[in-house]
Amino acid sequence: MYLCLIPFLVVAATATICPYGRAEKKSPCAYMNANSNSKSLTRALPTTGKKGVFFMTRNGPVSSELYVANADGSNARSLLGNNTVFELDAQWAPDGEWIILTSERNGDGNPDLWRVRPDGSGLEEVAATPAVETAGSISPDGNLVAYQGTLNNLKSNIWIQELSTGNSWNVTNSTSVAVPDGHFRPAWSPDGEWLVFSSDKNTQWRGHNGTRGWEHTQENSIYTIRLDGTGYRRIVNKTGYSLNSPKFSPDGTRIVYYEIETEDTFYARLTPHVDQITSQIVSVDFATGDNRIEHTSSSGVKIFPQYVTADTIGYLHKGSGIAGTVQGLNYTSATLDGNTSFSPVLGAMRSPSWSPNGTLVLYQVMSNTPNRAQDKIMYSWQEDWEYRYSDILPRLNSENILALTTQKTGNASVVTMEPDATDQHVAFNDITNSSIVPEVAAVDSLFGAYQPSWSPDNQFIATGWGNWFQGRDVGGGVIVRTSANGSSYEVLTNNSVLNSGFPSYAPDGKSLVYRQWDWDGPLGLRILNMTDLSLRVLTTGWDNLPGWSADGSTILFTRRTSPVIEGPYDDNYDVCTIKPDGSDFRVLTTSLATDAHAVWSYDGKILYSTGEFGFQDEGSIYDFNFQPYAQIMSMEADGSNKLPLTNGMWEDGMPLFVPNTD
């Protein structure tokens, strides 16, 4: 029996699998009433004091607010009230006098540590850098805070900071790249001598769903370490499972954590799949890792366990919020045959933390609606560029007009606009053209008009239209050329191949490059002659997202480069280039993680997203996030001089530099 909390605690549902966190299609298109014959007259003003704007998209929640309630869910109140910005992952100090929390009040996408009194007063900054600081935990004596942070190398490590001086040090001191090596969710022993945490150290990159899934799963174990970095050891692991969010028992003899199958660490962050999988709450002896007790056995995802009292363990039952499903706080006995006097509480809370005496609970309520507005200012990791939010796959033409896919703000149509988001017009309406590919309706909702590409004279836009992502080998997709003002379109490919998509114009306008996929898998890249519509094979690999360079000499694309593709560990994607005649094939990335979604920048460099630096948190706790390890990178056209352009805890991608114009 669940007690109802408060009616507005609802986590908005997202759609099923895709790499961009696809929301359900919105209808009608947000811009369909715009005048398609209107000519753009204005231009975006230069960004004062900056070189220009850096556009990017982000998959993740758009709002997060902290609440304090009685342990039975009653008397819930906002912790920060009108001072709320974007706060999450709050934890009580052991004496109950402070609450340590994560806030993005220094900029959208930049999580820092703050602390506040339980009544919401005395808010003060604790640790703030351009890197990630989150999951703070205050020591039993109140003098130190342990947290996970990515300062210096973008890898998630366990840091400790003195609250009185601000001095900090990296306890786990990881410098590895190319393999998972993150450290997450530190918690103190009652005597303040030890930290426990989860880590995916010494594991391999792994996809999901056999060979079909490109997003990574995560396999964590439970570790411990002393404050000075000594005593480092693994307490417990389980092959094929991820062990997470450890906490000490009040007497310091046991560790409680949640245990989930490795494959399900991907599905746990998706709606509605989170309602269809299961994790359990487990504890072991701290000293030996033995004497295992499984405290739960029911279905459902259970995370964030904590000893509320010596006899009771509280945890979060994570769910989608879809009608008929269950989510909220729940409780179980700390012993095999014991009972608990606590009652479950229904609600869409996340990341609960119970007060030291067990009478109060902190939690966050997150939402992914309404979406960030096009052109919203974000946290900038480059001082000379202003970061702004954009919907996906933005492309700029020679007249400084954007074309993009309205996956998040509309119905996955192609829309054109000024860089400041004014003067918006539909160039290709996904919904009204649904008769182009009859097979679409029989697959799923993951279809739309993806990767718009301008013709050199700016009169036309080529785009893929149909089924993408998981539907690419069962549903149709075609290449469409539409007039830039949306007045007409034509289909350039036929149904002899199941799925054609993601086109890019050659700079001379005489050719298009795009990728093909059939019932049996990938067919590679093709070049279409725009004069006679003849077709030429460019590659035959697992290739996608091609883009022609501005000088016409090189085609950029992503390839699955695993030498044998037989299972989830064969999951390496790289950024590659090739000449239009098929010569000089090069692999430009070597991280062994996912390096993908590459585009050319205005200065001839290549921008792409990478999983090189690993997960920034435990994968199973995320919502609205498919690849929560994605950072944006820049490199030269030959693959040299790789530099990170973001350092956050969400999924960032789809970059575009728009320099100021006179």
**Three-state SS letters, 98-117:** CEEEEECCCCCCCCEEEEEC
Q: What is the pLDDT of residue 612?
A: 94
For the record, the structure tokens of 355 come out as 């007060």
Give dist(CA 280, CA 260) in Å, integer.
7
All structural domains of the chain with their residue ranges? 4-58+370-659, 63-367
What is the strand order of the sheet 414-417 is part of?
A: 392-396, 402-405, 414-417, 425-428
Phi and psi at 82, nearest 5°, equal -70, -10
Q: Which neighbouring-strand residues pair with 282?
A: 257, 294
Per residue in 513-538, is it b (16+ CB within 10 Å) or e — as a string? bbbbbeeeebbbbbbbebeeeebeeb
Give dist(CA 529, CA 205) in Å, integer.
39
What is the strand order of the sheet 87-92 is part of?
A: 87-92, 99-103, 112-116, 124-127
Q: What is the pLDDT of residue 208?
A: 85
Mean pLDDT by runs of 10 across the 662 residues of the chain is 36 33 40 36 61 96 97 97 98 98 98 98 98 99 98 95 97 74 97 98 86 87 96 97 99 99 96 95 98 97 98 97 95 90 94 98 95 96 97 97 94 94 93 64 68 98 87 82 95 85 98 93 95 96 97 98 83 96 97 94 98 96 90 98 98 96 76
Q: Which neighbouring-strand residues pair with 300?
A: 278
Q: What is the pLDDT of residue 437?
A: 64
CB 306 within 8 A of CB 313: yes
* CATH number for the domain whose boundaries are 63-367: 2.120.10.30
Three state DSSP letters for 440-478: HHHCCCCEEEEEEEECCCCCEEEEEEEECHHHCCCCCEE
Q: What is the pLDDT of residue 631?
A: 97
Classify domain 4-58+370-659 at the CATH superfamily level.
TolB, C-terminal domain (2.120.10.30)
CB 281 within 8 A of CB 330: no
Give dist(CA 149, CA 134) in Å, integer.
7
The reply to whether 63-367 shares the fold of 4-58+370-659 is yes
Q: What angle do CA 86, 171, 155 make, to 5 degrees?
A: 55
Q: What is the pLDDT of residue 167?
A: 97
